[in-house]
């Protein structure tokens, strides 16, 4: 498993989450694709949406089929470690908030503001809920929303 950086040390999910997968640098990003969390392959290799893992293979194929330049897509996850709750890989919202504040919030905000701002593709319910907020009655799959990314504050200050 890829070791976690020091910023994870005080996260309440540090002992529960396995491995760590962070985006690799991308020249001229065109899209930020954020999933719910790494799976085993990603936690082992440190590569989000690894091309050899089922989710990575599927997402990369779908993006290419839709005309996105996959080499210019930044792949990240709502939690950068692999958190399982029971039989589910669905990251708890509290863990997403911790990870957002510690790791991916700042780069996501940088990527989505300014003249070179890129859109965000939320892959899965947990990240869509985190980014969209209360969504009772909202259309979700395939919908496009304009949102400002949340403030980066740790849940417990």
Closer to ligand SF4 by CB, 60 or 102: give it.
102
Q: Shortest gap between Cβ of 98 and ligand SF4 (angstroms)?
A: 5
Angstrom distance (rounded) from CA 135 to CA 127: 12
Task: Figure out which of the listed residues 4, 84, 129, 152 binds ligand SF4, where binding follows CB under 6 A.
Answer: 4
Would you say 43 and 2 are in contact if contact means Cβ atoms under 8 Å apart?
yes
Task: Figure out which of the listed residues 35, 53, 80, 131 binds ligand SF4, where binding follows CB under 6 A.
Answer: 80
Q: Does 79 bind ligand SF4 (CB under 6 A)?
A: yes
Task: Figure out which of the listed residues 29, 60, 98, 108 binds ligand SF4, where binding follows CB under 6 A.
Answer: 98
Residues whose CB is less than 8 angstroms from the CB of residue 103 and which lie 6 or more positions away in sequence, other chains included: 5, 7, 22, 80
Q: Does 60 bind ligand SF4 (CB under 6 A)?
A: no
Q: Does 43 bind ligand SF4 (CB under 6 A)?
A: no
Angstrom distance (rounded) from CA 26 to CA 36: 20
Q: Which residues pair with 32 in a beta bridge?
A: 74, 120
Q: Which residues of 119-132 are buried (b: 16+ CB within 10 A; e: fewer)?
A: ebbbbbebbbbbbe
Task: Figure out which of the listed residues 102, 121, 123, 126 binds ligand SF4, where binding follows CB under 6 A.
Answer: 102
Residues that bind ligand SF4 (CB under 6 A): 4, 8, 11, 13-14, 17, 20, 79-81, 95, 98-99, 102-103
């Amino acid at each position: 498993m890829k070791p976690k950086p020091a910023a994870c040390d005080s996260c309440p999910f540090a002992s529960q989450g396995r491995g760590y997968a962070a985006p690799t640098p991308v020249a001229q990003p065109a899209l930020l694709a954020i999933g719910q969390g790494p799976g085993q392959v990603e936690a082992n290799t440190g590569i989000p949406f690894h091309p050899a893992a089922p989710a990575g293979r599927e997402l990369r194929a779908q993006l290419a089929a839709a005309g996105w330049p996959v080499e210019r897509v930044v792949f990240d996850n709502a939690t950068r470690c692999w958190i399982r709750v029971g039989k589910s890989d669905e990251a708890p919202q509290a863990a997403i908030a911790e990870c957002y504040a510690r790791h991916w919030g700042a780069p996501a905000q940088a990527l989505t503001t300014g003249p070179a701002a890129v859109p965000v593709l939320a892959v899965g319910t947990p990240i869509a809920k985190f980014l969209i907020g209360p969504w009772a009655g909202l259309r979700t799959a395939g919908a496009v929303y304009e949102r400002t990314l949340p403030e980066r504050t740790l849940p417990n200050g």
